[in-house]
Structure 1
Amino acid sequence: MNKTIFSKTLLATSLVACTSLAQAEFSANMALTSDYVFRGFSQSSEDPAVQGGFDYTHKNGFYAGVWASNVSSDMYNGSGIEADLYAGFSNELASGLSYDVGLIRYSYPGSSPKTDYEEIYAGLSYKFFSVKYYTGVDLGNEALGDYLDAGLEFDLPQGMGLALHIGNWNSKAAGGDYTDYKVGLSKEIKGFGFELAYTDTDVDNDPLANGRVVLTISKAM
């Protein structure tokens, strides 16, 4: 390549890279929770969990990230770690109205047989209300089920927040349908997020789906 052309190309590439970085944002998060509860079920067999992740967001609405937590190895065929990879687009459609679409992969390294699976999701939020729909397949493209998530978030006095959630899992397997609920109070204190939540389901035959109080302390960076 001609040296002059190479220099111009390098300069152009550098300018594009700098512009891209200026429009992008990297962040990290960490959390300690008394019980890792996902869709109403304890994933850590009612034990504490340490969690953390990294996120990339771009001005155009694209985002991607990774998140991990310890889980019960008995539940995930010998794997004690959940590692999630996700990517999607989120933007505002109108004042107060926004959308979110993406793909998430739930991985459990070392599980045998494999318990990894993926979900495609799409959601809308308007001011304090949000709704999101997930549909999942495993690595063999076998349909797992659908999950509908709806929530309300309110600001309370003294800088506190109230979150209400209801979700419904519609399993492709017979007898696997259930509904879960969550009520949470949150507050930021000296840069740390504190949430005290109560979760429950309508599942009667699994102690990991019973009602429970969960305390989570988090930090965003």
Structure 2
Amino acid sequence: MRKALLACAIAIGVGLAPCVSAQTAKPEPAFTITGNANLFSDYRFRGFTQTDYKPAFQGGFDFAHQSGFYLGNWNSNVEQLLYNGASLEMDFYGGYKTTFGDFGIDVGLIYYYYPGTNKFSPGVDAKNFEAYIGASYGPASLKYFYSFTDFFGLHSDAFPAGTFAGSIDTKGSQYVDLTVTLPFDGGWSVVGHVGYQKIENARRLGLIENDVIDYRLGVNYDIAGSGWIVGASLVGTNEKNLFTVGDLSEGGGKTRGVFSLSKTF
């Protein structure tokens, strides 16, 4: 080491590139694997409760390659009545993301799977398969989703026989997500979100008269920089009576506070 330091001093003295150390730094890994665990007072998806306004435990993992390609899985408990007997949601996704300075892009596919569905209405499957493309700049992100399948099983077959003349599906449903996250000193951040959901043929199925707008405004805090994040948000939609669960007359989109504890490891 002494000889190495002397060689570096000589190199600097004659104008050569300086040496940092005889010990070279470890190269960045070709891929990383991370996991996450979350506890929510209510699982909301695009503004609507998925757990009958009850708590949800969620978790998953992500595999990311240095090239920008990634794969992941995410899971949560859900309300059986909402997903035709299924009590578990399993999401599988993959895509590619990269950045150009402050500008980022993200494209991929996501499959929503509900094992045990078909319990109450045989033949009605609550799965959903979407493609997405997103862009981000600074604290703002915009993402667009397009559904290749019936939107979480919504189809004329899901209604009593004879309700509709002919077959009506919801393929081609679309969603736009605009989210802004503003970080502050001390581990605090504020998150604002507005989403727009267009369910294909929703009016023909008698579900809603208008497209759905959901919103969220919240604050997060990283506890002493530990990576444990506590959050509080106000979440709701403009279609509060859609996707009614249990005996709630307000439906699944009621505006309420949602509290969370999350950790990525």
Task: Tell me if the contact between 2:188 and 2:220 (Cα under 8 Å) persists in the aligned partners.
Answer: yes
Q: CA RMSD in A?
A: 1.7
Q: What does 1:1-221 align with in structure 2 at a 5 Å threshold? A: 22-92=29-99, 94-112=100-118, 113-138=124-149, 143-175=171-203, 176=208, 177-189=211-223, 190-206=226-242, 207-221=251-265
TM-score (norm 2): 0.72
**Secondary structure of the residue that 1:158 maps to in structure 2?**
helix
Higher radius of gyration, 1 or 2? 2
Report how far residue 220 of structure 1 moved: 0.7
Greater Cα shift, 158-167 or 203-212 = 203-212
Runs of 4 or more, structure 1, over 3 Å off, are 139-142
Structure with greater strand share of residues: 1
Greater Cα shift, 131-140 or 66-75 = 131-140
**Secondary structure of the residue that 1:209 maps to in structure 2?**
coil
Which string of whole-angstrom CA distances, capped at 9 and with x for unpartnered residues, describes residues 164-197 of structure 1? 0000001102334210000010011133111111
Unaligned runs of 5+ in 2: 1-27, 119-123, 154-168, 243-250
**Secondary structure of the residue that 1:22 maps to in structure 2?**
coil
Task: Tell me if the contact between 2:240 and 2:252 (Cα under 8 Å) persists in the aligned partners.
Answer: no
Letter in 1 for 2:37: M
Report how far residue 144 of structure 1 moved: 4.5
Residue of structure 1 equivalent to 2:22: none
Unaligned runs of 5+ in 1: 1-20
- What percent identity do the matched residue pairs reach? 34
**Secondary structure of the residue that 1:110 maps to in structure 2?**
coil
Report how far residue 48 of structure 1 moved: 0.3
Which string of whole-angstrom CA distances, capped at 9 and with x for unpartnered residues, describes residues 115-136 of structure 1? 1110000000000111000001
How many positions carry a matched residue from both structures?
Answer: 200
